[in-house]
Amino acid sequence: MFVQVLPTKSAVGKVVAAQVLLDLARTLSAAQTANLAISGGSAAEVVLPELVKSELRYVIDWSAVHLWWADERFVAPSSKDRNDVRALEILAGLIPNVHRIGDSQEFASAEDAAARYSEALKGIRLDIAILGVGSDGHVASVFPNHSSSDNSEQGAMAVYDSPKPPPTRVSLTPPQLASIERPYIVALGKSKREALLAALDPQVSATQLPAKRLPATWYVDLECAGRP
């Protein structure tokens, strides 16, 4: 785990976006495609606009980039609760190859949507991920001491009774998250400080703090770091 402290939320967005773009360019210099996973929340709101604005975007062959979701709320496709609605609005068609997690109109259950996403993920290595972290240390929809901590070898799983609404979700499984080559966790503000401190505490397990499952670089602002 490495922690990069930056002065403001805006600085975090700019630096993470630049790092992701450089990683995409590096990946595409050695492979025909690159796979980027994102979550919703503050990570998407802060980083994705900078991704779209950065001049570094011009060095990427976006037709070779595939976009995946770390988790999704199992609701109607147009619901504002869905992570993909806001993310795709921000990206405005920048990435043409989009792999959505199924919605509640397309599938009868979250298990069915998770099974379909697991099939889509077979043989795929997620190169880069932009992820948020909850104040409780959850990442994607893998929550502390919850059934979502299931270590299924599938790529995706259904999550019920989520501590955060809406209660039914589909998430990448812990092994799938742990296999991401370059995961970046964005933690902003005082509300995420306890999660950061717990991530740095060797006595805290990954079951207690799911974000510890990932060999991630954390990008945090001064408020999160507790610095003046």
Task: Summarize the confidence of residues 74-91 as an average pLDDT.
Answer: 96
Position 155: which residue type?
A: G
Residues 71 and 170: beta-carbon distance below 8 Å: yes
- Strand ranges inside the chain, DSSP E: 2-6, 34-38, 65-69, 71-73, 97-98, 128-132, 156-159, 169-172, 182-187, 217-221
Answer left, alpha or beta for residue 189, where phi above 0 means left and psi between -120 and 50 means alpha.
Answer: left
Angle, CA 119 vertex, CA 113 and CA 122 arms, to 5° = 140
- Give the CA diameter of the chain: 50
Percent of all residues in the chain with a pLDDT value above 70, rounded to a whole number? 97
- The pLDDT score that the predictor gives to residue 204 is 95
What is the arithmetic mean of pLDDT over 48-69?
97
Burial of 108 (0-12, 13-18, 19+ CB in 10 A): exposed
Whether residue 147 has pLDDT greater than 90: no
* Model confidence at 150: pLDDT above 90: no
Mean pLDDT of 93-116: 97
Averaged pLDDT for residues 76-93: 95
User: Taking 70 as the threshold, does the pLDDT of residue 27 lie above it?
Assistant: yes
The per-residue pLDDT for range 160-176, each reduced to its tens digit, is 999 999 999 999 999 99
For 123, which DSSP code? Answer: T
The alpha carbon of residue 94 and the mean position of all alpha carbons in its chain are separated, in whole angstroms, by 18
pLDDT tens string 121-137? 999 999 999 999 999 99
* pTM for the structure as a whole: 0.95
* 228 has pLDDT over 70: no
The C-alpha atoms of residue 196 and residue 198 are separated, in whole angstroms, by 5
For residue range 175-190, what is the model confidence (pLDDT) as tens digits? 999 999 999 999 999 9
Q: If you write DSSP's letter for every residue of 47-58 in order, what string do you get? A: HHHHHHH-GGGG
Do the beta carbons of residue 60 and residue 23 sit within 8 Å?
no
The model's pLDDT over 190-216, given as tens digits with 9 standing for 90+, comes to 999 999 999 999 999 998 999 999 999
Q: How many percent of the chain have pLDDT more than 90?
A: 92
Tokens of 223: 């408020």
Residue 177: C-alpha distances to residues 113, 130, 194, 227 (Å): 18, 11, 22, 30
**Which residues make beta-bridge pairs with 128?**
36, 182
Provide the pLDDT for residue 227.
77
Cα separation, 169 vs 69, in Å, equals: 12
Whether the pLDDT of residue 117 is over 70: the answer is: yes
- For strand 217-221 and strand 2-6, is the pairing parallel, antiparallel, or unpaired? parallel
- Which residue is listed with tokens 């948020």? 132
| pLDDT confidence of residue 153 | 77
Pairwise CA distance, residues 227 & 213, whole Å? 26
Q: Binning pLDDT at 50, 70 and 90, where does residue 21 land?
A: very high
Average pLDDT for the chain = 95
How far, in Å, CA of 91 to CA of 40, rounded?
13
Token pair listed for 138: 């959850």
